Structure 1
Amino acid sequence: MSMLNIERLTHRYGLTEVLSGIDLRLPAGQTLALVGPSGCGKSTLLHLVAGLLAPSEGRIDNPYRNVACMFQQARLMPWKNAIDNIALGLKARGMAASARRARAAALARTLGLGADDLRKFPQELSGGMQSRVALGRALAIEPDLLLLDEPFSALDVGLKLSLYRHLRGEIARRGTTVLMITHDLMEAVRLADRIVMMAADPGRVVHELPLDQVHALRDDAWVYQTTGRLMQAREVRLGFGLDPAPGGDSAVDAPAAGCAI
């Protein structure tokens, strides 16, 4: 089985150590969410996995060759319309124009983009539409490894839930491996199979939270209940820089229903 393997990873910007001694394993088909406060090195870790940075120390063994990224900003090409932005990776692979546009259009329809939307340029699209196009561009190449850097953080709740459903459908259909960054614990509970809690100064792993509930059964009530229980756990609160909850339990002692911690 393919597995992303990170061992003793340390990274510095100049003299500042932003990541220290990171060890992570991500098996094929699993979704892992990195959560933690701003400044704990989550995005730096994602950029290292993507190959955009070289680690100062340690190693990253990434067996996946078909990798796609989606960032907090849509980062669309302003001189291309929506359909050509979605098809950008397919063009880079040499797919014929008619074939790549047909695939992009089919994917766009599932994301709620109409024919008129596909003719528009990024500056003519709302923020939510731009996010749909960015997700379509990432999914169009059918990645084996999908890297998500807080791409849903600026969206309203309704659009988030819509994109969550589509993303989980694609993950289930293709067995995509996902490494996602979020500061939103509820988002991680909704989407991930495992949550890794990071802390800052320097960025490091402080706790891991496996979620056993199957995704089809993660209704809103379960998501809210599980998130609330995790937020009372000492390890999670310390990871977010919060004081321990009065009388709060360790995450090990207070598992949520369907959540093996």
Structure 2
Amino acid sequence: MTYVQEWKAFDVAVADDIAQVTLIGPGRGNAMGPDFWSELVPLFGALDADPEVRAVIITGSGANFSFGLDLPAMAGDFGKVLAENAKAGPRTEFHGTIKRMQAGINAVADCRKPVIAAVSGWCIGGGVDLITAADIRLASADAKFSVREVRVAIVADMGSLARLGTIIGDGHVRELALTGRDIDAARAEKIGLVNDVFEDQAAMLVSARTTAREIAGLPPLVVQGVKEVLDHTRRPQVEDSLRYVAAWNAAFLPSEDLTEAITAVFEKRPPKFTGK
């Protein structure tokens, strides 16, 4: 299958049965704006359907994996529901927006081809959502991770809260999600968020490609079967969690604190939260 270079948020290269998907922005630090969310489903649908692809590597361009949600670029999607006394109409529309964004991360998780996330530099918020949808996670020594949504008055709703528990355990999930603190690659490896840590980005990518090559050399239908069986128990729990948080956020996310968080981003200052 030929990948026409029409992607705005990704660079895609396929060779030797391996697809490398590189986040390219256009936001700073490969931040996840409208193009990212609209392109994930068709991109991973194409990779899933391509018989020439047996494994996928996803990584970030430049020094960082992703700064997470591009709040300035996505502000319009929050605007109507943040309006004073927003009624059922804008809240329903916002619920649909959440579900469409969740579908993008789900497309990565549901891809029948194993996905290896290779993380360097910052992996924040939506970046963590994305790597939790991968099958294997690798990091370079400079990688830093943060489930940061709580710090911008958002309940993480793209999959971190649904998937992290089976990766790092409930206690670590609660610590990261309730504090929004940053952790380095060594801590990420210690708690099981990443499988291995490498000296630098180049060494990490070599290992990612070696692992992808190993997978690509195995019987493809059996590899897909292994993924299907491993996901069978987790998938209903993830789907239920995603449905619940989408409804929760449509009802309760709009707040003065969220408005303050977005305003503070534009004004480049620390937010002042009041619990309203």
Give the TM-score normalised by structure 1: 0.28
Higher share of residues assigned strand: 1
Higher share of residues assigned helix: 2
Give the TM-score normalised by structure 2: 0.27
